[in-house]
Structure 1
């Protein structure tokens, strides 16, 4: 009988964030990520954490905002494609990680219009050290940016509980070895997150859908990715029946 190796305990956490002209919302994202990294360092000081922010075809002041944060690595690309930007961010963040160390490295993914909770990285580290290879969290739009009827309809269509079926690139964690073995993010303008999760699940890796990993995102109705989260919100009206 072949012995099963215990999960590799984390040594590194790589936070990857794509951004396209997000100077209005980016300060909140950077602030909450700074708090999450600080909390991880306080609770798990042996884990090294670094944020890589991918500036994809930005023409606003996003670059200047990122440069004010010494602990954030800016990467400039012109893909105009969220899947390609995420994949490029992972490539840059993990370029020097040897193959045999990938099991102890973790990718935490979010978006530049999100506010992550202080324990966001700590919770992912706990799950990773328990043997989880991929975790999908929940995302909720800012209540003060949506009409009450639209927000109520959104909540009626979403399960904010453990075992939920939602997949958001804005709240997704995956072990680096699992990411690589599953082919990573594909350079697509939409559903690069869903494609990765489907391949990881099909591989037999240990996956968890957790409501404990919960964050807020913008409630805007016109987003950067056609067909993305903002588009879904814009289609919601009281009494409609949409899935998402």
Structure 2
């Protein structure tokens, strides 16, 4: 008897006006475990030929592709698109076991599906590593190297701090630590357990990873699961990667990644044993400007070098909104998902950009 493999994996891709990039995105997926994989493309608020180009590419690659064409409201965004794609897969793929997601301007590695599936045999969520499309990376030379170095250094310190002091976060030590929708994979049971992607404009990827950690599911930040993202500056999601890159190229005193809390907040919550799941989300009024980062770097380094003795009195204390404008909402913890209608840098790839500039 010949064994016929069941279709058990869905790859969800949100797309808006992506006629120039969607063919390359789908070509990278074509041939990756085709008997198991169904691709759900959520084309939203689109005025170009994204859907037609996608169908052409799928036909050439022998891909099982479903195109959902929808219009999102002003309060909806990429989180809503991912959620709708997942809902379709859950309803229409009877043997679905795994959900994966990437972006329409991304190129997944040739072993992306297989490596995700291998990790999902022992964990519930796989967070892939986001690199940049090399042919587009020249734009990063316009970034302020000093600012990029400061942000990259502080991020490494914050991640190490979380790995040491936040319950259930030891696994992020010596990993990329990212939680980007450009490369996420999750088991069906875990997805349903936490209610799926939040229907937000931005930040649904980190919100999902925080939720699965809070629910006790196993998360792995896999360095061998790789996707390459575009460096374009005319992005589709408000507060997304392109906005983050533009802020860093402009050379102004920009707000750093919103998963990097002030040093005094980190140390006080570590002392109280109230650090939430990784990655944190910083309330707008507590976000740091890049020029304020040196003091926070010094405070975390002193904390680490002293063996954990809290130098909190020496850390800069943030008590008022910073110099860049950001929307306000209650800040009773760092795990609150971004509300629909608000925006803020979702800077996974900007972080990668900082690392690229620093090391070049």
TM normalised by structure 2 equals: 0.56
- How many residues align structurally? 221
* C-alpha distance in structure 1 between counterparts of 2:110 and 2:149, whole Å: 25
After TM superposition, list the pairs within 5 Å mapping 1:39-188 onto structure 2. Answer: 39-41=32-34, 48-68=36-56, 69-70=58-59, 71-79=64-72, 81-96=77-92, 105-129=97-121, 131-145=122-136, 146-150=139-143, 153=148, 157=152, 163-188=175-200
Q: How far 1:151 sits from its partner (Å)?
A: 9.5
1:138–1:215 contact (8 Å) kept in structure 2: yes
Please list every run of 5 or more consecutive structure 2 residues that lacks an aligned counterpart in the other structure: 1-5, 157-172, 258-346, 348-360
* C-alpha distance in structure 2 between counterparts of 1:62 and 1:181, whole Å: 33
- DSSP 3-state at the match of 1:39: coil
Q: How far 1:182 sits from its partner (Å)?
A: 0.6
1:66/1:162 CA distance change after superposition, 3 Å: farther
- DSSP 3-state at the match of 1:40: coil
1:181/1:142 CA distance change after superposition, 3 Å: same
* C-alpha distance in structure 2 between counterparts of 1:219 and 1:154, whole Å: 19
TM normalised by structure 1 equals: 0.82
Equivalent in the alignment of 1:15: 11
* C-alpha distance in structure 2 between counterparts of 1:126 and 1:142, whole Å: 25
* C-alpha distance in structure 2 between counterparts of 1:94 and 1:79, whole Å: 20
1:77/1:49 CA distance change after superposition, 3 Å: same
Of the two structures, which has the highest relative contact order with CA contacts closer than 8 Å and spacing of 6 or more? 1
* C-alpha distance in structure 1 between counterparts of 2:207 and 2:87, whole Å: 18
* C-alpha distance in structure 2 between counterparts of 1:89 and 1:151, whole Å: 38
Aligned-residue Cα RMSD (Å) equals 2.6
Greater Rg by CA: 2
Equivalent in the alignment of 1:6: none
Equivalent in the alignment of 1:44: none
1:39-97 Cα shifts (integer Å, max 9, x gaps): 335xxxxx611111011111101011122224211111111611111100011112045
Equivalent in the alignment of 2:23: 27
1:113-155 Cα shifts (integer Å, max 9, x gaps): 00001100000111112x2100111212223322424396489
1:214-240 Cα shifts (integer Å, max 9, x gaps): 111110112100111111111114797
Q: Which has the higher strand share?
A: 1
